[in-house]
Amino acid sequence: MINTAILSFGAGGFQIQCVLDSIFFEELENIELSAVIVNQENSRALERARHAGVPVYLVNRELFPNEASFTLAILNKLADLDIELVIAPGVGERIAPSLACAFAGRIIATKHSLYPAFLNAGEEESLKKSLEMGLKLSGSTVFMPDKEGNVGKILYQKAVPVLEEDDKYSLLHRILDEAESEILLEAIRDCCDKLAAEKKEREEREKESEEGREQAENTRKSEAVPESENSPETELCERAEEESSG
């Protein structure tokens, strides 16, 4: 099982509910959801995680003087919990570089747009521009961040239509409901399966190495002759010397 935490920096909790439901109905394997970390006391993510019986940790952004100290507190909490995989849906415009580096290849994030559309825009701005420009398609991108915390390896993308009557709220709901809820779970499933396979292989190598050390130690002990005991050849030589001297 892969020890996993969800980061939720905002008031939303839709993606978290998708993950919680999938774990409850055993649609996700190889995952142990140990924590939901939030930065707001009134977030729906906090309420939904508590209702599901998942431990919730509040790291209040307002208590920290800058982004670096806030991110360090997050990293310390993840280290305390021995977290192996981080799920960070909709945490903002980019992942903090220190977090991205610490969990390189082990952090899954999302954008409410089809990357590289609106490359440097925030989530709300992306929705607004999609409507203002009259786009016919929008969607979701699930990715692993690069070392700078920007979009790195794209794991999944899925498009949804933009309707004439849409506002940013109806468009966001369609993106989450028809695209992101599906591809986020697929990405989590793939990542957990991969990490679990790597973990099993690593444990097997460690076991083989330990068994090899034990076997070598047993062989060394069996081949060693205690100084207080003589071999049969030595005893025959000593007896022959005694008979000749007698």
pLDDT at residue 240 in the model: 60
pLDDT at residue 219 in the model: 84
pLDDT at residue 11 in the model: 58
pLDDT at residue 81 in the model: 97
pLDDT along the chain (246 residues), means of 10: 91 82 92 94 88 94 93 96 93 83 96 89 89 96 94 96 96 96 96 95 89 84 64 60 62
CA nearest neighbour of 154 among 143, 162, 146: 143
For residues 209 and 200, what is the distance between their CA atoms, to the nearest angstrom?
14
pLDDT at residue 6 in the model: 95
Please say whether the beta carbons of 36 and 57 come within 8 A.
yes
pLDDT at residue 94 in the model: 75
For residues 131 and 44, what is the distance between their CA atoms, to the nearest angstrom?
26
Looking at the DSSP bridge assignments, the partners of residue 159 are 139
H or E stretch covering 59: none
Amino acid residing at 103? F
For residues 220 and 211, what is the distance between their CA atoms, to the nearest angstrom?
14
For residues 20 and 46, what is the distance between their CA atoms, to the nearest angstrom?
12
Q: How many residues does the chain have?
A: 246
For the sheet with 107-111, list strands across it: 56-58, 31-38, 2-8, 85-88, 107-111, 137-145, 151-161
pLDDT, tens digit, for every residue of 31-64? 999 999 998 888 888 899 999 999 999 999 899 9
Amino acid residing at 227? E
pLDDT at residue 237 in the model: 59
pLDDT at residue 120 in the model: 77
Please say whether the beta carbons of 10 and 43 come within 8 A.
yes
